[in-house]
């Protein structure tokens, strides 16, 4: 949420992706914490790694330097959501094949919908920024 404060202080616009992400991530973390699903720990660790890269980029860019690896930040974010797909398939496999299935399918569906929507929004952002980059060249 610190990034939102910095954007507001610097009078930079807040994008739909930014506002949507921060509006939904708090309830998502709450739902994951209450569900106690074992795979949620891996999600949190992966998300922390992505945010380390992202905030390092923000800090480096704030010095006024042009950061050559800017587009890779979004690619890492997209990869995070793409990585969730095989995990989701494994979860569904065990849910439908293991005796008794897996617990808390509702949480799984909710998180899947949120991550799917973020994947689409990040892809849209990436494609739009690549188009703007190409026209600027």
Tell me the residue range of the domain where 97 lies: 2-132
- In whole angstroms, what is the distance from residue 70 CA to residue 130 CA? 11
* Catalytic residue set: 21
Average pLDDT over the chain, rounded to whole?
A: 82
Whether residue 137 lies inside any domain: the answer is no
Highest mean pLDDT (candidates 8-17, 51-60, 97-106): 51-60
| Burial of residue 118, with CB atoms counted within 10 A of its CB: 0-12 exposed, 13-18 middle, 19 or more buried | buried
Report long-range pairs for 1-10 (Cβ below 8 Å, ≥24 apart).
3/55, 3/58, 6/58
Whether residue 80 lies inside any domain: the answer is yes
Mean pLDDT of 65-88: 87
Domains: count for the chain: 1
Mean pLDDT of 66-86: 88
Whether residue 58 lies inside any domain: the answer is yes
- In whole angstroms, what is the distance from residue 47 CA to residue 59 CA? 18
């Amino acid at each position: 949420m610190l990034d939102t404060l910095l954007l507001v202080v610097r009078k930079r616009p807040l994008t739909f992706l930014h506002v949507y992400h921060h509006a939904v991530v708090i309830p998502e973390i709450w739902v994951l914490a209450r569900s106690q699903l074992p795979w949620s720990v891996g999600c949190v660790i992966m998300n922390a790694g992505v945010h380390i890269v992202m905030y390092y980029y923000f800090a480096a860019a704030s010095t006024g330097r042009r950061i050559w690896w800017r587009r890779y930040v979004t690619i890492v974010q997209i990869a995070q959501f793409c990585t969730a797909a095989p995990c989701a398939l494994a979860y569904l496999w065990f849910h439908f094949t293991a005796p008794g299935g897996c617990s808390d399918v509702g949480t799984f569906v909710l998180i899947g919908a949120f991550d799917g929507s973020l994947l689409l929004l990040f892809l849209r952002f990436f494609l739009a920024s690549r188009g703007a980059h190409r026209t600027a060249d």
